[in-house]
Amino acid sequence: MKYGRLQAAFYGIIVLSMLVIGCISHKSPPQPVKFYQLDYPPPEASFESTPLPYIIRVDPFQPSDLYNSKPIIYREGRYGTSKYTYHRWISAPDQMVSRFLARDLRHADIVNAVFLDGGEAATHRLVGSLEAFYENDQQRQWEAVAAVSITLIDTGYRNIAEQICFQKTYSVNKPCPENTPAGFVEAMSLSMNEISRMIISDIYNELLMAEGKSQRND
């Protein structure tokens, strides 16, 4: 009788083990993480008096709590902010945007040289930060919300007040072609393309005016 109970318990353990193994083997595989990056063409050189005799160093953007990591940020409603688990940027947005901005400045060819976090002989520094860079999940159509603040600094002055050429925030919202993370990335690329062109135009106009003043004083 005792042997029978032990045998039943033994078979019970085997059956239970097989059930556990079966549950584990039938578990669906984890969802793969998808990585995204901005994708838009750099601007062509289209300014008349270029390149201007200056060197710009694009500093790393000031890190923020929301945009210094890779998960894509989305908002639902007025106060809800969350992060995707399986949809991420290839690099943190504050790093990615400064890198693209340096690329765009080089292609625009408005100055003699553009460096990213380098260039000891730089005549100007471009300091920036991300104020907004998120997917706004509105009820009918999502949108990409981007806002970039920059400060152009003239390194030739010692007084901080004199160093600041201009400071400005650029904001652009673009509707997503589809309500998906991929659609958001497409819309964000369009937003950053527009912001980048506005920044380059303002920098060019500022430096062109400074060059005019310099020539009149010579």
Rg (C-alpha) for the chain, rounded Å, is 27
What are the Cα distances from residue 189, in Å, to 22, 66, 73, 100, 173? 45, 19, 15, 11, 11
- pLDDT > 70? residue 56: yes
* pLDDT the model gives residue 6: 45
* pLDDT tens-digit series, residues 60-84: 999 888 999 999 999 988 788 999 9
- pLDDT > 60? residue 20: no
CA 45 to CA 40: how far, in whole Å?
16
Out of 26-35, 62-71, 197-206, least confident range: 26-35
- pLDDT > 60? residue 23: no
* pLDDT the model gives residue 217: 65
* pLDDT tens-digit series, residues 95-127: 999 999 999 999 999 999 999 988 779 999 999
Residue written as token pair 């400071």? 167
Residue 92 — φ and ψ, nearest 5°? -55, 140
Please give the distance of CA 171 from its chain centroid, rounded to a whole number: 14
CA 34 to CA 9: how far, in whole Å?
47
Residues paired with residue 6 on neighbouring β-strands, in sequence order? none
Residue written as token pair 């290839």? 90
DSSP state of 165: E
Give me the percent of the chain exceeding a pLDDT of 70.
Answer: 84
Q: Which domains does the chain have, with CATH numbers?
A: 36-217 (3.40.50.10610)
Identify which of 39, 37, 29, 103 has the alpha carbon closest to the alpha carbon of residue 72.
Answer: 37
Identify which of 23, 216, 193 has the alpha carbon closest to the alpha carbon of residue 108.
Answer: 193
* pLDDT the model gives residue 1: 47
b/e map of 167-189 (b: 16 or more CB within 10 Å)? Answer: eeebebebebeeeebebbbbbbb
* pLDDT the model gives residue 26: 52
